[in-house]
A and B are shown apart, each in its own frame.
Chain A
C-alpha cells in the first residue's frame, strides 16, 4: 500500500494562491512596478569584448534631470554576486561598473532620467573613450602562453589572488588507483565532448526598483532567487547597515538559475538611487538580458572502464569550463561537476581535473541543473558506447552500476556527502522500459530511407538541496514562521522565493497537512528581509526539501503550542488531545476524545487566547536539512530523424521520476514537461555563439535568432507519459524530495542516444544541428 494514502492535502492538485493573478495578468513583477517620482535608468554597455576605459565624458547630457554614474562614483569594491559558498570558496572579480570591460555588454556607466526616452537620449549623449585590448573567445586559446590576461588580480578569502594563464580556478579529486583500475578493465572508452552556451530565456528580464529611504537606507524590489543574499551584498558594497536595507519579495517571472547571483542591475540601481535620492527603476531589454547571463560551456574528456562482467572499475574526467568574463560560481561548480559525475555510477577508482577559464564572453552562471545536464549527457552517451563494447544491453548496464540506496552520494561536491536513503531507479527503469518496449527498439544503424526512428534512454538525478550531516563549503539552510490568526487561519512567512513553479504553495500545503487544515486556511505572506529569517536561496531543487522542511519544523512547533494552550483552556492533558477537521464549520478542531464539550476550533482557541491575553500562537525557526537526497529521473525517448532535411522530431516520451512524496501531481508533471523541452532544445537547437569579428553575440542579443522550443516542437500530450515512483524520503517533509532540475538532467543523454539509435552515428558536440545530421548521414545515402 502506498504511504501517500494517509495524506489529506499533499498529493492532490490544488489551485495556486497566485494562479488567478497570474493568468489574468494582474500579478505585478519587478519589471511592472513603478513609484511616484521614479527615474528610469539605462546602462551604458561596452561595445568591446575587452578594453580599458580611458575616459567617460558626460558633458553632452543636457537633461537637467538626468543623473549619470561612472566607475569612479561607485564603491571600489571587488565582490562576488553569488553568496552561497563559504569565503574560501568565493572568488571575487566583479565591480558595480567596470573600467575594464571583459565582454561586449558589460556595464561601464549608467544614467537615470524622467522616462525611458529621456534616459535613452542621455545615454546616447555620453562619450566613452576605450583602449581596445586583444580578446579571446575560446577556453583553450585563453590558457595559451601569451594570451591577453583577462584578470590580473582577483580576491579569494579577502586575499589578493594572481590569475595565471586566465585560469579562474581549478580543482582535482582522486579516489582509489585509477591507473591500476584501467589496467584491469576489459573495456575502456574515452571520448571528448563539447556543450554549447545556452541562454536562460526566462520570461522576465532582469529588473530592479530601488527606493532610497530617509536616513540612508534603501528598499529593493528585484528579480532574485534570494532576498537575504541580496541584502548582504548591498551591505557589503555600500556599507549601509543591514537593518536599513529592505529587500521585498516580488513575484519572479522565471529564472532557471539566472538570479541565484544578485543581478548586475541591482547594485547599479542602488548607486543611482543613492546619488539621485529618487526611486530608480532599471529593467533590462531582452537584448541586454542576452548579454547578461548564459549557461556554462563545458568540454569534457571522459574515460570509463568496465570489467568483463560489465561492472565499472575506473574513470577519469578532465573538465574545462568556459566561464566568460567573470566568475559567478565557477569554483563550486568544479566541485559539482565531479560530484554529479561520480554520483551517477559506482566507480571504485576515479580521478578528476577541472579547470574554469576566463574568456571575453558573456559571463556564465547556473542554468537549471548546474552543470549536471552537461556531464550527464556525456556520461549517458558514453555508457551506451561502453555497454555496446561490453556486449551488455545499455539499460542492463546501467542497472548493474547505478548508485542507489545505501550508497554514498556527493552530487553537490566533495564537501557535501551523505548516504542515499530512498531510491526509485529500478522502478523508473523497469516501468519506463516496459512502456516504451525497450528491448524491441530498432537496432542502431539498421534503417535506410528518409525517415528513421530511434529510441534512446538516459537516466540521472539532481540533489534536493545541498544538505549534509556536517558543514562543507556550501551554505544551505532556511527558515520559516507560522502563526495562527484570530479566525483560525495561518500565516506562513518565509524568505524563500518561488520562480513560478509553485514552491511556496507546496510549502503552504506542507503546513496545512501538518496542522490538519485545508490549503485555503494557510495564507502565503509576501515578506521581506526584515520580517523573515535567513534562507540561502531557492536553487539546487531545495524549495520543497529544505523550504518545506523548515515549514514543517515550524508547523510542528505551532501544533505543540496549540496543544499546550488548548490543554490549558480545556483543562486537559496536552499530549492526550486529538485533532480533526470539521468541514461544516470549516474549522480544525482540537478535542479530548470521549469527553463531550472538551473541544475548541482553532478560531475559538485564537479568540480565547486574545481575550485572555495569552498571546499569539506562533513559531519561527531555522532549519538545516541533515541530508542531500537525490531525486532520480529517467527518460525514454523516441525520435524521428528526417535524413533529407536533418530535422529531428520527438515522437514519444516516457519519463519516470522518483521525487518521494508527490505534493502537486500536475505541477510536478509540468516540471517534467518543461525539463524535457529544455533538454530537447539543448540537443537539437540551442547555442549562443560569439562573432569572432566583433566579439559580440552572433545574434547581437536578438531573440529572433535565439530560438527556444514552443509546444509545436513538442510531442503530442498523449504521447508524453510521466509517472512517479512509490518512494518515501525519510529525511524529507512528509517524504518529499525535489524535482526541478532532475526533470532536465538526463534528457540530453536520452535524446542523443535516440538519435544514435536512429542513424547509427554518434555526435560528441552539442547542439546536434541539422547541418551535422545531413553531413553525417551523407545526402546521397539518405535518399537511397
Chain B
C-alpha cells in the first residue's frame, strides 16, 4: 500500500506498546529488551513521523515520568539540563537566561509556545535534525551529552553526538539523560541567528557563534551552522583562522567568506544550496560582528 494511503494524521496509525518507566534504569532495561523501541519525550518530532509512517516503533518508552531527567541546575562553572526538560522550562529558567544567553536564543526560536510547552531539549538533540536549534546551541557551547545505557553511563561531546540526519551515536538500550554546558566567561560574546520561510518555521539556515575576546582580538572561536550539512556543523578551519586575529570589518568579511565556502549545503524544499551558501555569508558577518561586539559598524 502506497504511503499516501498509509498516512493518517487523525490518529497514530501504528500499533505499538506503551511503557512508562519511572527511573533511568527501568527505561534502559525496556530499551534494551525491545530493539524496536523508541523513547518518547514531548513527541513533537516522533509522533508526526509515526503519523507519516516514517517510523513505526513497536514500543514507546515514555521519559516524562522520570524525575532524574527533569530540570535545570546551576553548578557554578557549568549548567546541567535534564534531557526531558521542556523547552519552555529551559527558556524560562533564569539560570539559562543569565548564564547561557546563546542557548536561550536558540531555544526561544523553536516553534511556538505551544510546541515549546511539549517539546524537550533531549528530544531536540536526539531527533538529530541538522536544523535543530537547541542542538546547534549546545554544539556551539561545546556542551557534553550525558548518556546512560546497559553498560552504565558515558559522555559524548555535543559536536560528536550526531552521525547523520536522524542518526546519533547512541547504541542499543542507550538514552540521553542530560547535558552539561560550560558557562562562557565574561570575555565571551555569543550570537544566534536563523532564517525561516515564516517566523514560525524550521530554520532554512542558522548560525551560532561564540567568541572569546581579549581586547579586540579573538582568543577562541566556535562557529556552528544548522541546515547546511547532514548534522549541525562546526567549522574548525574558520575557528582556527580567527584565533589570534584582530576582529575588524575586514576579518569579519574574510571569515564570512570562509564560512560560505566551507559549507556544502543541499537544495531542499526550504531553500536552495546557492541560497544557503549566500545567506551563510551575510549571517556569518552579522553573527561574528555581534558576538565580537562590533555592532553598529556592520550595517554599511
Contacts and interface: CB of A to CB of B under 8 A. Distances in A.
A783 B5 contact: no
Nearest to B298: A450
Interface string B50-89: 0010000000000000000000000000000000000000
Interface string B8-35: 1111010000000000000000000000
11 contacts: A47-B5, A117-B13, A123-B5, A644-B282, A644-B286, A685-B197, A701-B7, A705-B269, A712-B198, A771-B271, A783-B285
A701 B200 CA distance: 18
A114 interface: no
A283 interface: yes
A286 B204 CA distance: 23
A704 B272 CA distance: 17
B200 A712 contact: yes
A699 interface: yes
B9 A449 contact: no
A403 B279 CA distance: 44
A713 B198 contact: yes
Contacts of B2: 47
A146 B50 CA distance: 42
B1 interface: yes
B198 A644 contact: no
A646 B279 contact: yes
**Interface size band for B:** 35 or more
A704 B202 CA distance: 8
A516 B282 CA distance: 63
Interface stretch (A137-145, A312-320, A391-399, A774-782): A774-782
B5 A774 contact: no
Interface in A635-694: 642-647, 681, 685
B281 interface: yes
Contacts of B286: 644
A779 B281 contact: yes
B199 interface: yes
Contact of A783 (B1, B272, B281): B281
B9 A120 contact: no
B6 A774 contact: no
B8 A120 contact: yes
A774 B196 CA distance: 15
A47 B3 contact: yes
A762 to B, nearest CB: 20
Nearest to A285: B9
Sorting the interface of chain A by its residue count into under 10, 10 to 19, 20 to 34 or 35 or more gives 35 or more
B11 A647 contact: no
Interface of A: 42, 44-45, 47, 104-105, 116-117, 120, 123-124, 126, 283, 285-287, 291, 449-451, 642-647, 681, 685, 696, 698-702, 704-705, 707-710, 712-713, 769-771, 774-775, 779, 782-784
A784 to B, nearest CB: 8
Given A285-B8, A774-B275, A783-B285, 4 more contacts: A120-B13, A285-B9, A644-B282, A709-B199
B199 A713 contact: yes
A774 B48 contact: no
Contacts of A287: 7, 9
Contact of B1 (A124, A285, A645): A124
A285 B10 contact: yes
B10 A771 contact: no
B229 interface: no
Q: Which 7 A-B pairs have the closest CB atoms?
A: A644-B282, A47-B2, A712-B199, A771-B275, A707-B198, A707-B197, A779-B278
Contacts of B94: none
Contacts of A713: 198-199
A285 B13 CA distance: 13
B10 A782 contact: no
Nearest to B9: A285
B52 A702 contact: yes
A645 B5 contact: no
B6 A685 contact: no
A644 B283 contact: yes
Interface in B189-213: 195-202, 204
